[in-house]
Structure 1
Amino acid sequence: MNLSIIIVSYNTKELLRKCLESVIRDQLSGISYQGSVVGKNKKPVTDNQLPVTEIIVVDNASKDGSVEYLRELVDNSPTTDHRSPITLRLIENKENFGFAKAANQGIRIAKGENILLLNSDTKLTENSLKSLLEFAEKVQPAVIGAQMLNPDGSVQGSCFLLPTVKRAILEYWLGKKDYFSKYYPKGDRPVEVEAVSGGAMLVSKEIVNEVGMLDERYFMYFEDLDFCRRARKAGYKIYYLPSSKIIHEHGASGKKLAEPKDQWRRLVPSSKIYHGSLNHFLITFIILSGQKIRKLFTGKK
């Protein structure tokens, strides 16, 4: 098995349907690859090879009919026919475990040498996977993030500078953009960055084996930053690939993963885990005070 696509879903049936349809359409369009695409032991691609891809959907106890829909898909999905380019696997959780723990369930059973973490509120555009995998062939084992687009085609911020107290000061007190918030690099060329969004992140299984899976202390938020930070510390590069374009209904899956009233409650402990309690306090103070000062002088938040 070459590629495992892992999708965590919680009450996102209609979004998930569109996501899966886009993956299947992309795979059946003739993409071919074989061997370790992101890893060091790459094999050449020939036109008569079918892509070998598994989709693993981890459902966090959805109540919107997602499980029934997925069960039907799995029943009709080939699991042993190697002539088929795609297989579908389903993990049904009895409770909402959050993103990191659920994604790790998929990673543990993944047969692919390469793993694509994909949000359920995304849709692949034509050749988006092909672009990811072709670029991955050219680099050493790396973490690669796709370009995220809003439904209207505008570009979403999906890259990060790893957040620090100093960078919070630069953005929120000194007004320097893109030092703390999500951003996107300008231009059409691949570029090395410090971190990418886990909403569409390709990573070699060998990197996971070395640095570990997602940290399950994060229910939601910060797990992608944490993983990229560990990967960079281990010497791996993080890339942003604008030629791989993926439409993202920004926040739709997150709103479902935690109820709106719970999202801030989930963000605070994740921030404390990532930054430590003292830095979390300092960063929160810098952000809130900076926003108030800006509103006072400009009328904008």
Structure 2
Amino acid sequence: MTFRTGDVLLECVDSVLAAPDIDELVLVNHDNPPEMVEQLEQRARHDAKLRLVHTGENLGFSKGCNIGAQAARGDALLFLNPDAVLKPGDASRLLKTVQGRAEPAIVGARLIGPDGREQRGARRGALTLGSALTGFLGLSCAFHREHEPLPSRPVAMPTVSGAAMLMTRRGFERLEGFDEGYFLHVEDIDICKRARDAGGEVIFEPRVEIAHVGSTSKISQIKVEIFKALGLARYFTLHGGVVGPLQGFVLGPVFLVGAVMRSVLFQIQARTAGKLPASEL
């Protein structure tokens, strides 16, 4: 699924098309610029492995992934962010790791940023109200585990990243896919939670390292933060038990205020570092 990702999208597509262990690439195009669409269509004309699905508008991450999964023909589904670069053998390693696991099973890769370090989000604990609040406020919390020692083999992990996540079709359909109530962010936390609750396994695969740029879509920071806030409120509404609806009602405004504050802070920091024109503050 891609929405105005930029030139890194072509690097992502080329890496997947070059991978011998990938049977097909279904790319869900959420309103990319015409010049980018033309380059994608050129690749599709020259490589039957690439199939394009044009939605005409940004329908969100969850819905885009579900559309792609429905269009795909394989028994295994690898969800890959449009700014992630796959290496030959990555997909087959993830597939081998998911085989024999209790379904619905999810296997997530280790994400490596442009600085060569493991990115936040590839391995996380179970989301709690405390970890959500501390993390959303930018405080340190045990939810993120990228600073822990790297395991040498696949390990159980409450939450892995949707930026590089593999599931069997059977497991994906058992969960009825991603929850389309999440537009952007938190949907991967949700599907991992639902997989665990259904008796499945969520596994972090440290031997698969995938380069991931991150934050490449042309969308304003404040929108990203608002979608994240709404996602968190939805998560605690759905997974909060009998008090879930009350939690969502109370936390929604809190997370939204925090989203605006975080966005302003990020922009001030970017302006101070000289990365953002004053007119964009």
Three-state SS of the structure 1 residue aligned to 2:204 is strand
Aligned match of 1:61 in 14, 26, 31? 31
Q: Which runs of 5+ in 1 are unaligned?
A: 1-7, 32-50, 79-86, 292-301
Q: Is the 8 A contact 1:168 1:283 kept in 2?
A: no
Deviation at 1:126, TM superposition (A): 4.5
Q: Which residue of 1 aligns with 2:251?
A: 280
Residues 284, 183 of structure 1: alpha-carbon distance in 2 compared, 3 angstrom cutoff: farther
Q: Which residue of 2 aligns with 1:97?
A: 59
Query: What letter matches 2:251 in structure 1?
Result: H
Deviation at 1:77, TM superposition (A): 2.1
Which deviations, in whole Å up to 9, do the C-alpha atoms of 1:48-76 show, x marking residues without a partner? xxx6x110000101125221111111122
Q: Does 1:130 align with 2:107?
A: no
Residues 64, 126 of structure 1: alpha-carbon distance in 2 compared, 3 angstrom cutoff: same
Q: Which residue of 1 aligns with 2:204?
A: 240
* Structure in which a larger fraction of residues adopt helix: 2
Residues 12, 138 of structure 1: alpha-carbon distance in 2 compared, 3 angstrom cutoff: same
Q: Which residue of 2 aligns with 1:43?
A: none
The alignment's TM-score, normalised by the length of structure 2, stands at 0.78
Q: Which residue of 2 aligns with 1:161?
A: 125
Three-state SS of the structure 2 residue aligned to 1:261 is helix
Residues 184, 143 of structure 1: alpha-carbon distance in 2 compared, 3 angstrom cutoff: farther
Q: Which residue of 1 aligns with 2:180?
A: 216
Residues 252, 271 of structure 1: alpha-carbon distance in 2 compared, 3 angstrom cutoff: same
Q: Whose Rg is larger?
A: 1
Q: Is the 8 A contact 1:171 1:179 kept in 2?
A: no
- After superposition, residues 71-82 of structure 1 pair within 5 angstroms as 71-78=41-48
Rounded to whole Å, the distance in 2 between the matches of 1:261 and 1:267 is 10
Query: What letter matches 1:63 in structure 2?
Result: P
Three-state SS of the structure 2 residue aligned to 1:9 is coil
Query: What letter matches 2:101 in structure 1?
Result: V
Residues 74, 272 of structure 1: alpha-carbon distance in 2 compared, 3 angstrom cutoff: same
Query: What letter matches 1:139 in structure 2?
Result: R
Which deviations, in whole Å up to 9, do the C-alpha atoms of 1:190-239 show, x marking residues without a partner? 11011111000000111112111111111101111111111111110000
Query: What letter matches 1:65 in structure 2?
Result: E
Alignment root-mean-square deviation, CA? 2.7
Deviation at 1:13, TM superposition (A): 4.0
Three-state SS of the structure 2 residue aligned to 1:215 is coil
Aligned residues: 245
Deviation at 1:283, TM superposition (A): 7.5
Q: Which residue of 1 aligns with 2:70?
A: 108
Q: Which runs of 5+ in 2 are unaligned?
A: 238-247, 263-281
Q: Which residue of 2 aligns with 1:41?
A: none
Rounded to whole Å, the distance in 2 between the matches of 1:58 and 1:126 is 22
Q: Is the 8 A contact 2:78 2:165 kept in 1?
A: yes
Aligned match of 1:143 in 103, 106, 113? 106
Deviation at 1:261, TM superposition (A): 3.2
Residues 115, 98 of structure 1: alpha-carbon distance in 2 compared, 3 angstrom cutoff: same
Rounded to whole Å, the distance in 1 between the matches of 2:254 and 2:128 is 8
Rounded to whole Å, the distance in 1 between the matches of 2:135 and 2:42 is 48
Deviation at 1:138, TM superposition (A): 5.1
Which deviations, in whole Å up to 9, do the C-alpha atoms of 1:112-146 show, x marking residues without a partner? 10000000000123532232123233534420000
Aligned match of 1:264 in 217, 222, 225? 225
Same amino acid, percent of matched pairs: 27
Rounded to whole Å, the distance in 1 between the matches of 2:224 and 2:191 is 21
- After superposition, residues 32-47 of structure 1 pair within 5 angstroms as none
The alignment's TM-score, normalised by the length of structure 1, stands at 0.73
